[in-house]
Amino acid sequence: MKEVSKKIVMVGDFGVGKTSLIRRYIDNTFSDEYLVTIGVKISRKHIEVPSRSCRAQLLLWDIEGRTDIKSLIDRYLVGAAGMIVVGDLTRPKTLESIQEHIERIDRLAPDAKVVVAFNKSDLCDPLPELERYVPKERVLTALPTSAKSGQNVENLFAVLAEAMCR
């Protein structure tokens, strides 16, 4: 079984739930208490991807969504094998930013595998038409997620891990 270490960067506007998705994935926990990420926080998780005979150490980079210094965000993207672009279903403006985030990824990490999390699905009924926010030719999958309930969080990371272990 091959062993790899992969850098995954979480990108998205301020307050979309990037940190909450990581906490759900790493610790299977959720808190309604809002924590602002300043700069970058790196978490790690070891997983197995049996379909690829691969053991992976995932290094999850949670970068702040508020910074106006785009060059700082750009530095975090370099060298990433995977990206998770997060939008907040309760805030349409964050969904419209998804394309901009993907364009930045294309410039700085063109080989990175990309998935999209439409987060806070537990607060949105019915779901809006999500396809219009995602360039299908660039994105492996786009899923409604909920860090609160755990909906599709494991699936999102599993799709990304499988693609990175090829």
Task: Quote the distance between the C-alpha of residue 28 and its chain's center.
Answer: 16
Q: How far, in Å, CA of 65 to CA of 13, rounded?
A: 5
> Residue range 11-32: average pLDDT?
94
**Sign of the Cα pseudo-torsion (100, 109, 118, 130, in order):** positive
CA separation, residue 75 to residues 32, 56, 100, 105, 147 (Å): 30, 23, 16, 11, 27
Q: pLDDT, tens digit, for every residue of 89-147?
A: 999 999 999 999 999 999 999 999 999 999 999 999 888 889 999 988 999 999 999 99
Residue 72: the pLDDT is: 62
- Is pLDDT of 51 > 80? yes
pLDDT digits (tens, 9 = 90+) for 60-92: 999 877 655 555 668 889 999 999 999 999 999
- Closest residue by Cα to residue 21 from 57, 56, 69, 58: 58
**Domain spans of the chain, in order of start:** 2-164
Average pLDDT over residues 7-15: 94
Per-residue confidence at 37, pLDDT binned at 50, 70, 90?
A: confident
Report the CATH architecture of 2-164. Answer: 3-Layer(aba) Sandwich (3.40)
Could you tell me how far CA 58 lies from the centroid of its own chain?
12
Report pLDDT for 64: 78
Its pTM stands at 0.93
CA distance 115 to 80: 13
What pLDDT, on a 0 to 100 scale, did the predictor assign at position 152? 98
Distance CA 117, CA 115 (A): 7
